Amino acid sequence: MAPKGGRANFASLVGSVGDNSPVDRKKTPEKPKPVEAEPVDGQFLADVPLEELVANPRNPRDEVGDLSDLSTIVDRQLQPGTAVSRAAWLNLWPTDEEILGDAKYVVVNGNRRLAAAVKYNRPGLDVVIRDSIAVSRGEVLWAATSENIDRRDFDVIEEAKAVELMVTEFGGAAAAATKLGRSNGWVSQRRALLKLAPELQVKLRAGDLAIRVARSLARVPLEEQVAAWQASQEGADTDPQSPAAEQEPEVQEPKEPKEPATEVEPADKVVQALRKLSVDPAVLAEAVRKHFTAAQQRSLIDELGLN
């Protein structure tokens, strides 16, 4: 470098730039900020901080219930939750932005685990990112509903609300039944429960009202339902058209033909066999459990209207 006040030649300038530049030596290069990549669909993320997670705003469950069975989550989480990215969720429900707050992920399945993590002071939750289920609102609702149906702590009114949402999103009861793997009758029965008066829904949830009776009461005008139920409790209602006196249709046993019929309905054949064997109901139930798969047993229960 030329002395102060002197002239600099080209050689001295060359030696003063680049790594040798006194200006550059005074500056510390800034480190580039890391760019967070969106997780790949199906990627497992361990211990995602709870502040980055938010519970499913469209969860069919009204309450998470008793979480004592999940108290061990503070030490170990046996099963990861299923979550979708914030962007994927807002693509389906753009009005939920305020609800999501600053969360990066929405927990679709595993909301009880998330609530337990908060309650028992676990700092993070294991999740698997599944943006592939966020292709439509119906698919997200199905993912949340299918996990809860048949759980003992998922009460029947919550189930009915979930089914109703499925019917709306999939465009009809038949489509919802197919997606849920249930019969049309089962879907119809669950939807009917939403027509119950609020007081009766509370009793149904508490186990004080049988589902079969509730379905009958749902056919009564709303303003008369509570009185009809109270009358049935007191045994004072003798009106054959009222739910109290309504009985399930009586199954008429066909008379055994003297001569073999050329065509016999399959159900009649079974009835004839049962009559000949004089099968005890307990024995029949055990035979059904041994012969039918779990799915076939649920289908049988649906057809009998026992759910």
C-alpha to C-alpha distance for 126 and 77, rounded to whole angstroms: 7
Report, in angstroms and rounded to the nearest whole number, the Rg of the chain calculated over CA atoms: 32
Answer yes or no: is pLDDT of 161 > 50: yes
User: Torsion-angle region of residue 154: left (phi > 0), alpha (psi -120 to 50) or beta?
Assistant: beta
Residue 49 sits at φ, ψ, to 5 deg, of -55, 140
Contact between 184 and 177 under an 8 Å Cβ cutoff? The reply is yes
Confidence of residue 255 (pLDDT cuts 50, 70, 90): very low
* CATH class in words for 44-136: alpha beta
Answer yes or no: is pLDDT of 241 > 50: no
Residue 74, both tokens: 């503070």
Answer yes or no: is pLDDT of 282 > 70: no
pLDDT of residue 153: 59
Higher pLDDT, 23 or 201: 201
Contact between 155 and 205 under an 8 Å Cβ cutoff? The reply is yes
Question: What is the secondary structure of 120-149 as a DSSP string?
Answer: TT-SEEEEEE-GGGTTSHHHHHHHHHHHHT
pLDDT of residue 23: 45
Contacting residues for 40 by C-beta, under 8 A, at least 6 apart = 129
pLDDT of residue 269: 63
- Stretch (H or E) spanning 262: none
pLDDT of residue 233: 78
What tens digit of pLDDT does each residue of 68-89 get?
889 999 899 988 999 999 999 9
Q: What is the mean pLDDT of the chain?
A: 76
State how beta strands 105-109 and 81-85 pair. Answer: antiparallel
Higher pLDDT, 129 or 30: 129
> Looking up tokens 């046996």, which residue turns up?
78
Confidence of residue 305 (pLDDT cuts 50, 70, 90): low
Confidence of residue 207 (pLDDT cuts 50, 70, 90): confident
This prediction has a pTM of 0.57
List the domain boundaries for the chain.
44-136, 155-234, 275-304
pLDDT of residue 117: 94
Confidence of residue 283 (pLDDT cuts 50, 70, 90): low
Strands (E) across 97-245 are located at 105-109, 124-129
Q: What average pLDDT does the segment 58-73 reach?
A: 83
